[in-house]
Structures are given as C-alpha cells and as structure tokens.
Amino acid sequence: MTEASITVRACVFDAYGTLFDFASAAARCTDVLGDKTAAVTALWRDKQLQYTWLRGLQGRHADFWQVTGDALDFTLETLGIPDSCVRDRLMSPYRTLVCFPEVPDVLARLKRAGFATAILSNGAPSMLEDAVTGAG
C-alpha cells in the first residue's frame, strides 16, 4: 500500500488533554485552591499518568476514575491541602470537564466533511459519557 492509496475515514481523539481540558476541574475550585490551583493541576495530571503507567506495568489494573482519585489524594497530601471537601469539589467537575474552545467547531467540520469521529481513551466509560454529555 502506498501513501497515496490511504483513505482517511475517521479521526480518533484522546479525551483528556486533547478534547477535554483536565485543568478545568481545578479552575472551577480557585475559590478554595487560590494560588495552588496551577500546582494542583500539574501534579494531579502527572500522578494520574504515572499511576496509569505503573499499574499497567505491574498488571494491577484500576479504572481511570480510581486512578484519578488516587492521584488527587497524593496531590492534596503533597501540597498540604487536607480538607476532604476540597477532594469532593475537585472530583465532581472532573466528570464534566470543559472541552477546549476549538473542539466543537473542529468536530462539526470533520463530520460535515464526512469523517467519523471517536474517542480512544483509558477513561472509564461512565467518565467519558459524562464528559461528552457535559460538553455537549
């Protein structure tokens, strides 16, 4: 098969960080996080990815919701944010992350052009369903 004979019929996107802005969860909680908002976002995402990779390598699967919570627990402890109410406030909006501003237009243009679109993610199905529904 040559490069010229490849026909693209579908575009598949990663959910978190490509379609959905994982930083939007912490951004919705700046009233309690204050100047730690950016640090929470960065460390939470780093640990989320690290825990996913480590569990995969160890053959110790946990769904992405569990990994997300574990990563947040590490983040809050590391940054000295002990309030369990903050954890709940951060986990809840993670289910309905804001999509990046360009996403609706890009997806609409792809669909009008006849491309199928899909999400390929390690996110738990319920998380992805909530995110897609929440983002419209």
Tokens representing residue 96 in the block: 């309905």
Our answer to whether residue 14 is catalytic in this structure is yes
Q: Please give the backbone phi and psi of residue 13, each rounded to the nearest 5 degrees, phi first.
A: -120, 145
Q: How far is CA 16 from the centre of its chain?
A: 3
- Out of 14, 46, 63, 83, the active site residue is 14
Packed helices 64-78 and 84-94: angle between N→C axes, nearest 10 degrees: 140
Indicate which residues carry an active-site annotation. Answer: 14
